[in-house]
C-alpha cells in the first residue's frame, strides 16, 4: 500500500492523570503492550508518529517522530499537517491517520478509506464521525496550513469544507477512544477478551 500511515499521538492527555499530572497515554500498557503499539499494528501502514515533546520516548517503535510545525499545539489538525509535510517530502500522495488512543480500529480501515477516494475520507460508526481516523490527500497541506493560521481547530469542520467522504465501519465500537482511567480499564478488559 503506497500510503504513509501517521499515528497521531500529540494530545496533552489532560483527562488521563496520575497524581494530578497528565501522563502520556499512548505509552500506557494495554494487554501487555503500549497502547500506541496496538494503533500501529491495526493501521498496518504506519510510517511516522506525530507527537510533541521528547521523541526518544517512541524510539522502540522505529518510526520517525514528527513535531507540530504550528505554534501553540493547536490540536490534531497540526498533526495531520505534520504528516502531510513529511509524506510530501517522501513522495507519498496520501496519508491515513489513526489516533494513538484508539487501539481497536478495524484492520481494513486504511484500505477502505483509501478506496473511498475524495480529498478526505473519514471513518464513521453508527452515525458518529471519527475525523482523526481518515485518509487525506497530501495536496491539501497548503489549504490546511492556511486554515490553521486562521484559527481552524476542528478536523471535522476542515474535512467537510474540502469535500469529505464518509466510510461506515461496523462492529463493536471499533473507534473506542481511551481518554480517562475508566476508559483504560474498559480497554484492558476488551484487550483481554473479558469485556
Domain residues of the chain, as ranges? Answer: 4-191
Q: Identify the pLDDT of residue 151.
A: 94
17 neighbors 25 (Cβ within 8 angstroms): no
Please name the helix (run of DSSP H) or strand (run of DSSP E) that holds residue 8, with its range, or none: strand 4-8
DSSP code for 19: T
Q: Identify the pLDDT of residue 97.
A: 98
Q: Measuring CA to CA, how many Å separate 53 from each of 58, 192, 193?
A: 10, 31, 33
Nearest to 136 by CA among 100, 104, 110: 110
Q: Identify the pLDDT of residue 68.
A: 87
DSSP code for 97: E
Q: Identify the pLDDT of residue 10.
A: 77
Q: How far apart are CA 12 and CA 121, in angstroms?
A: 26
Q: Identify the pLDDT of residue 94.
A: 98
pTM: 0.93
Q: What CATH superfamily is the domain 4-191? A: Spore Coat Polysaccharide Biosynthesis Protein SpsA; Chain A (3.90.550.10)
Q: How far apart are CA 153 and CA 186, in angstroms?
A: 29
Q: Identify the pLDDT of residue 194.
A: 63
Q: Identify the pLDDT of residue 2.
A: 81
Name the pairing type of β-strands 46-50 and 65-66: parallel
Q: Identify the pLDDT of residue 24.
A: 86
Q: How far apart are CA 64 and CA 62, in angstroms?
A: 7
DSSP code for 66: E
| 118 C-beta neighbours (distance < 10 Å), count | 17
- Per-residue tens of pLDDT for the chain, all 195 residues: 589 999 999 765 555 555 555 678 899 999 999 999 999 999 999 999 999 989 999 999 999 999 987 767 779 999 999 999 999 999 999 999 999 999 999 999 999 999 999 999 999 999 999 999 999 999 999 999 999 999 999 999 999 999 999 999 999 999 999 988 899 999 999 998 865
Amino acid at each position: 500500500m503506497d500510503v504513509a500511515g501517521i499515528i497521531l499521538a500529540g494530545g496533552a492527555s489532560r483527562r488521563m492523570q496520575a497524581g494530578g499530572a497528565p501522563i502520556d497515554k499512548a505509552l500506557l500498557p494495554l494487554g501487555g503492550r503500549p497502547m500506541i503499539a496496538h494503533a500501529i499494528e491495526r493501521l498496518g501502514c504506519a510510517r511516522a508518529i506525530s507527537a510533541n515533546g521528547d521523541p526518544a520516548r517512541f524510539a522502540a517503535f522505529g518510526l520517525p517522530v514528527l513535531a507540530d510545525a504550528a505554534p501553540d499545539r493547536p490540536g490534531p489538525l497540526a498533526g495531520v499537517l505534520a504528516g502531510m509535510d513529511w509524506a510530501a517530502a517522501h513522495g507519498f500522495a496520501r496519508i491515513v491517520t489513526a489516533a494513538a488512543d484508539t487501539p481497536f480500529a478495524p484492520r481494513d480501515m486504511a484500505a477502505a478509506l483509501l478506496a473511498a477516494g475524495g480529498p478526505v475520507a473519514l471513518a464513521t460508526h453508527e452515525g458518529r464521525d471519527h475525523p482523526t481516523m481518515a485518509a487525506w490527500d497530501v495536496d491539501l497541506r497548503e489549504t490546511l496550513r492556511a486554515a490553521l493560521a486562521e484559527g481552524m481547530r476542528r478536523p471535522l469542520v476542515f474535512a467537510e469544507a474540502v469535500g469529505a467522504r464518509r466510510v461506515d465501519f461496523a462492529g463493536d465500537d471499533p473507534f473506542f477512544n481511551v481518554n480517562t482511567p475508566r476508559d483504560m480499564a474498559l480497554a484492558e478488559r476488551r484487550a483481554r477478551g473479558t469485556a
